[in-house]
Amino acid sequence: MNTRLPFALLAVLAAACGGALSESASSGTPERPTQTSATNPGVVPTSTATSGNPAPPSAPNAPNAEGVDVLLCDGKTKANFATGTPGNQIASALMNEWLRKNPDAHWESNERASHGLQPASDNKELVGKASPGQTYGHISEQDVALWKIETERLALAGSRVFHSADELGSTVAVSCDMCHPHAENTHPETYPKFQAQLGRVVLLRDMINWCMQHPVRAEPLSADDPRMRAMEAYIYAQRRGKTLEYGKH
């Protein structure tokens, strides 16, 4: 799966970088910092310690007649701007260029619209609560919002893999949803349990890999493969509210 860049962070950093570049390019020669000598603090020395000759003046920053090159935080997207261009215009132009090169940038909203994802718990009842030794201390609205967003993001990534033969690496163009639309009939709440296909007690991920090797005809995934973790999250998300009954057939 492709890693998606956080738009807000990119825009803020690009604006900051752009503003700084445009300001430095238009300011001319920077002032030399005041230096002090060991024998006479506060006095600017006029010669070097070794030669006795006056120190050469600092070279001014020559303005670039062709403008200023600004590189986006992805390390790839770059554009040239006239000296003095406002930072917000630089950030907007860079992000528009990045979006042009990455037309799939809105995959999360598209995935949510295409495949009904069960929402994660909002945990709002925890806001304002705290207890001694609690990891999060005083729980804020920002905390629970972050938990929900990040949890749903992982489940959405799993939905994307679940519905894509290419993401799964299928050699016969089969994806998981062809047998399990919206993760139906997967019953993650019943694992661990004995599965006759494998002849032993298995976890959900073991059954996922059995399906990967047989109907999907793809390579099995390691337990820490991002696709495995994401698919497990998606399957569990789609069974929200079901009672845990491990071993049930």
Whether the predicted pLDDT of 141 surpasses 80: yes
Structure token digits, residue 145: 């919002």
- Confidence at residue 173, expressed as pLDDT on a 0 to 100 scale: 95
Q: Pairing mode, if any, of strands 200-202 and 78-81?
A: unpaired
CB-based contact 36:43 (threshold 8 Å): yes
- Confidence at residue 122, expressed as pLDDT on a 0 to 100 scale: 93
Domain with CATH 1.10.760.10 in the chain: 141-238
What angle separates helix 141-162 from helix 226-238, to the nearest 10 degrees?
Answer: 100
Among the ranges given (19-33, 78-92, 112-126, 201-215), the one the predictor scored with the smallest mean pLDDT: 19-33
The answer to whether the pTM exceeds 0.85 is: no
Which whole number is the average pLDDT over 225-241?
Answer: 96
Place of tokens 């600092």: 58
Question: What does the alpha-carbon distance between residue 75 and residue 4 come to, in Å, rounded to a whole number?
Answer: 14
Report how many helices (DSSP H) and strands (DSSP E) the chain contains, helices first: 7, 4
> What pLDDT digit, counting tens, does each position of 194-226 carry?
999 999 999 999 999 999 999 999 999 999 999
- Confidence at residue 60, expressed as pLDDT on a 0 to 100 scale: 37
Architecture of domain 141-238: Orthogonal Bundle (1.10)
- Confidence at residue 6, expressed as pLDDT on a 0 to 100 scale: 45
